[in-house]
């Protein structure tokens, strides 16, 4: 065989295999992507699993997967230093006939949220790089990252908070409609509770002693307002994330003690869970007491948008208009407007109790923030 004929055959073979791989290289290529867990807590690790199979007799010398991954899902072998919201993830395979390859990637979930991965670009070509083909494959999978749950001792509740005094399956807040005798007057007691008959009989101020009840419910409210201007974006997202962590921690502790617990805030759910319209509903979960309730609350927190649906005073007004009663409210907030103070008094008049957990920036004192620690509304 002459050299010219050898070169001709070689070129023909190279171009022929390039044509074959460009036309049929991705035929019967199947790809799936999944996570080892559907939900994890912030800071935990999870496996992302790539599975690709070649269901044809033609071997594939190389296959490359390209997909966008949110930067808050960090691959443990790489670091994102450019601050981009999304990263490109690349993976290379080679596939023999009818072979299936599985590859696992360790991912660290750095931030609360709901992360949905939609498509992946799959490219292939011949061994010499003369021909290349690519397609977009649907690879729908998602993972939910719950906010961090801390020990209840790490939550900055007021020093007199009722939460530390919970007895199993009982809410330890005095009910104004259940009387259990009288006791001597103590500083801070409301004048409305003075029992004048007992006072006249003993010549000392006596107040009516209230019994405890299991009819109360705990609602944990998080105020996403930093100012009263609804059009301003949330500037301190880290502060609001900390508020969500506090809310999750209190919810976990309260439900573990048998307390019927719910959650609400003036944010809204991300798509596809939230509404598509311009005006979006706030989040409000009715109080219940079971492990499914805790999972539901955590899942909802994970899917909250870092934005506001309305001012928080409109959120509180909804409770007032439906005459909510017998509810103990833990309000997590960084501001307390005069309108909110008025609404808190209205809620108390309906038979509710309100306590404030202040959200503060790191290094900011109570006085600088314009409030005092342990402000308690109610009797």
Q: Where are the domains of the chain?
A: 26-146, 152-170+215-377, 173-213
**So what's the pLDDT on residue 359?**
92
Higher-confidence residue of 129 and 265: namely: 265
- Whole-number Å distance between alpha carbons of 301 and 346: 27
Asked if the domains 26-146 and 152-170+215-377 are classified in one and the same CATH topology, the answer is no
Q: Residues 249, 151: contact at Cβ < 8 Å?
A: yes
CATH superfamily entry for domain 152-170+215-377: von Willebrand factor, type A domain (3.40.50.410)
Homologous superfamily of 26-146 in CATH? ntegrin, alpha v. Chain A, domain 4 (2.60.40.1530)
* 183/155: higher pLDDT: 155
Task: Report pTM.
Answer: 0.77
Confidence of residue 277 (pLDDT cuts 50, 70, 90): low
Q: What DSSP letter does each residue of 215-278 carry, written as one string?
A: --EEEEEE---SSS-TTSPPS-HHHHHHHHHHHHHHHHHHHHTT--EEEEES--BPTTTS--SS
* 25 pLDDT above the threshold of 70: yes
Give 288-321 pLDDT, tens digit per residue: 988 799 999 999 999 999 999 989 999 999 999 9
- What span, in angstroms and rounded, lies between the C-alpha atoms of 336 and 330? 13
CA-based R_g, the chain, Å: 30
pLDDT at 228: 83
Q: Could you report the per-residue pLDDT of 329-371, keeping only the tens digit for each? A: 999 999 999 999 999 999 999 989 899 999 987 655 444 344 4
Return the pLDDT at 167: 36
Average pLDDT, the chain: 82
Distance CA 224, CA 305 (A): 10
Predicted pLDDT of residue 216: 63
Select, from the ranges 10-14, 258-262, 278-282, the one with the highest average predicted confidence (pLDDT). Answer: 258-262
Lowest mean per-residue pLDDT among 12-26, 47-61, 145-159: 12-26
Strand ordering across the sheet containing 86-95: 39-41, 132-146, 113-125, 60-70, 86-95
């Amino acid at each position: 065989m002459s050299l010219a004929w050898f070169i001709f055959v070689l070129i023909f073979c190279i171009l022929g295999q390039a044509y074959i791989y460009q036309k049929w290289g991705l035929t019967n290529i199947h790809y799936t992507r999944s996570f080892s867990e559907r939900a994890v807590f912030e800071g935990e690790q999870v496996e992302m699993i790539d599975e690709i199979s070649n269901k044809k007799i033609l071997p594939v010398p190389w296959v490359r997967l390209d997909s966008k991954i949110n930067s808050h899902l960090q691959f443990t072998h790489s670091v994102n230093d450019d601050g981009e919201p999304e990263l490109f993830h690349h993976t290379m395979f080679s596939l023999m006939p009818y072979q299936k390859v599985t590859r696992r990637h360790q991912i660290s979930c750095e931030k609360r949220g709901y992360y949905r991965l939609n498509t992946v670009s799959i490219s292939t070509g011949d061994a010499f790089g003369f021909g290349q083909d690519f397609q977009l494959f649907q690879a729908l999978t998602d993972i939910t990252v719950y906010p961090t749950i801390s020990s209840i001792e790490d939550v900055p509740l007021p020093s007199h908070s009722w939460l530390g005094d919970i007895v199993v399956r009982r809410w330890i807040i005095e009910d104004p409609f259940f009387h259990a005798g009288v006791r001597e007057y103590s500083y801070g007691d409301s004048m409305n509770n003075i029992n004048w008959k007992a006072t006249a009989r003993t010549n000392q101020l006596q107040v009516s002693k209230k019994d405890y009840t299991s009819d109360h419910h705990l609602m944990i409210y998080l105020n996403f307002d930093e100012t009263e201007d609804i059009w301003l974006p949330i500037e301190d997202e880290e502060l609001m994330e900390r508020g969500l962590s506090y809310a999750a921690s209190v919810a976990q502790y309260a439900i573990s003690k048998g307390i019927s617990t719910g959650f609400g805030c003036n944010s809204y759910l991300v798509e596809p869970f939230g509404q598509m319209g311009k005006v979006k509903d706030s989040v409000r979960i009715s109080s219940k007491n079971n492990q499914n309730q805790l999972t539901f609350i955590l899942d909802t927190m994970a899917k909250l948008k870092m934005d506001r649906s309305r001012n928080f005073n409109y959120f509180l007004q909804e409770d007032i208009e439906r005459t909510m009663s017998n509810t103990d409210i833990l309000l997590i907030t960084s501001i307390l407007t005069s309108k909110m103070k008025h609404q808190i008094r209205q809620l108390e008049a309906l038979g509710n109790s309100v306590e404030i957990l202040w959200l503060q920036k790191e290094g900011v004192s109570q006085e600088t923030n314009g409030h005092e620690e342990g402000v308690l509304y109610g009797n």
